[in-house]
Structure 1
Amino acid sequence: MMSSFEVSVQQLNDLLTDDSGCYRRPSRHCDEVHPRIYVGDQFTATNVPRLKRLGVTHVLNAAEGNSHMHVNTSADFYAHTGITYHGIAASDTDHFDLSVYFEAAAEFIGKALTYRGGRGRVLVHCREGYSRAPSLVVAFLMLRQNMDVRCALALVRQEREIGPNDGFLRQLCRLNQRLEAERKINIF
């Protein structure tokens, strides 16, 4: 039996599908999913003039690497642009442990938002901006904005079509359990 703060992967998948139970692919290359936080794809991440137009000061690549599932950018790619870079070599598979990067990603996003007196903007991207990147943004909202997993996922989904894989959803459920347990302990 699940406690009141436990959330299932199925409940999260229900938040991600439309009325007919279907997932939708992103309709744009990039979307602002929370003030000054953008989730996007490879096209946006490699288009420096577009990043400049958006005012992006920081880029978090959730798919750093050279394979077809990754986006081959690095700090060198953004050298001389004024954009601060952080890369995570994550794979979009159910068994990849993305949770080990939740805290570092949240730290990077948080620093980006406080940059220049709170005027920084961050692009969090993966190849398609569909699974890895939104999972990291949801974790940030949970860790730094005190949202529960349902609220954070629904907020991001409201602004962009996303579909984190079930492994990432399971990891977000575990993070939710941990944070709720910590909040409960802090109440007493």
Structure 2
Amino acid sequence: MATKDVDNEGISEEDRPYTPEDLLKIINAPSGGLSMLPSDAYNEVYPNILLGEESIAKQRVQLQKLGVTHVLNTAEGKDDGYHVHTNHVMYRKVNIEYLGIPATDMMSFNLSKYFNKCADYIEDALSNGGKILVNCKVGASRSATIVLAFLMLKRHLPVQDAVRLVRKEREICPNDGFLQQLCDLNEILKKKGHFKCTEEIR
């Protein structure tokens, strides 16, 4: 019978809360321990979920060609240095639904208050046969965090599995504050038994 790895305090690896450092090891492992920015404008990180940067978010015709039906801008705002200035009006012309949240890529920003709203929006898009682009400025921190939260909330993936799944398809680098918020969400969901009904990843 397999035994669980146990640390010095008698806590099994499976039961120990994940930390931002644990997640960073997973994120940086494919690049030899280095933090990497995305090499593509967008990547499909889960069936019909594109994770991308500002440039693809503003190419409405290209999005239409890709079959995108919904856009979730996790960096909505008019400050071009840190945010992406898009809105529902610009997408209406190409029949793309839009949701924007005014998140800032700072460790102190509470992105978790948007986790459920964004997860519901992504789920609604997918359940209706749509394809969604989730973007921020670079497509690596705010948007990646929201996609990870979706996978945890709606696909019942523990945080480490969600991170591995997304990192396999795209370089990501959520800030430490966002990683901590994902770890906190993981603990809340674990205590509720949320991950015991893990859905098979197709």
TM-score (norm 2): 0.87
The answer as to whether partners of 1:26 and 1:130 remain within 8 angstroms in 2 is yes
- CA distance in 2: counterparts of 1:62 and 1:7, whole angstroms: 24
**Residue 21 of structure 2 corresponds to which residue in structure 1?**
10
Q: Against the structure 1 CA distance between its residues 84 and 172, is the aligned structure 2 distance closer, same or farther, given a 3 Å change threshold?
A: same
Offset at residue 50 of structure 1 (A)? 1.1
- CA distance in 2: counterparts of 1:170 and 1:8, whole angstroms: 7
In the alignment, structure 1 residue 98 sits paired with structure 2 residue 111? yes
The residue matched to 2:138 in structure 1 has which SS? coil
Offset at residue 77 of structure 1 (A)? 1.5
Q: Percent identity?
A: 42
**Residue 50 of structure 1 corresponds to which residue in structure 2?**
62
**Residue 22 of structure 1 corresponds to which residue in structure 2?**
34
- CA distance in 2: counterparts of 1:110 and 1:142, whole angstroms: 12
The answer as to whether partners of 2:52 and 2:135 remain within 8 angstroms in 1 is yes
The answer as to whether partners of 1:36 and 1:113 remain within 8 angstroms in 2 is yes
User: 133, 136, 157: which one pairs with 1:123?
Assistant: 133
The residue matched to 1:17 in structure 2 has which SS? helix
In the TM superposition, structure 1's runs of 4+ consecutive aligned residues that sit over 3 Å from their partners are none
Higher mean Cα deviation, 79-88 or 169-178? 79-88
In the alignment, structure 1 residue 32 sits paired with structure 2 residue 51? no
In the alignment, structure 1 residue 182 sits paired with structure 2 residue 192? yes
Offset at residue 5 of structure 1 (A)? 4.8
Higher mean Cα deviation, 159-168 or 12-21? 12-21
Offset at residue 103 of structure 1 (A)? 0.1
Offset at residue 92 of structure 1 (A)? 0.2
- CA distance in 2: counterparts of 1:99 and 1:147, whole angstroms: 17
- CA distance in 2: counterparts of 1:69 and 1:77, whole angstroms: 20
String of CA shifts for 1:107-135, please: whole Å, max 9, x gaps. 000000012xxx20000000110100010
In structure 1, the gaps of 5 or more residues are: none
User: 69, 73, 77: which one pairs with 2:90?
Assistant: 77
TM-score (norm 1): 0.93
Please identify the structure whose Cα radius of gyration is greater: 2
**Residue 170 of structure 1 corresponds to which residue in structure 2?**
180
Q: Between the two structures, name the one with larger relative contact order (CA 8 Å, sep ≥ 6).
A: 1
Aligned residues: 183
String of CA shifts for 1:72-112, please: whole Å, max 9, x gaps. 00111212210000000000000000000000000000000
Q: RMSD across aligned C-alpha pairs, in angstroms?
A: 1.6
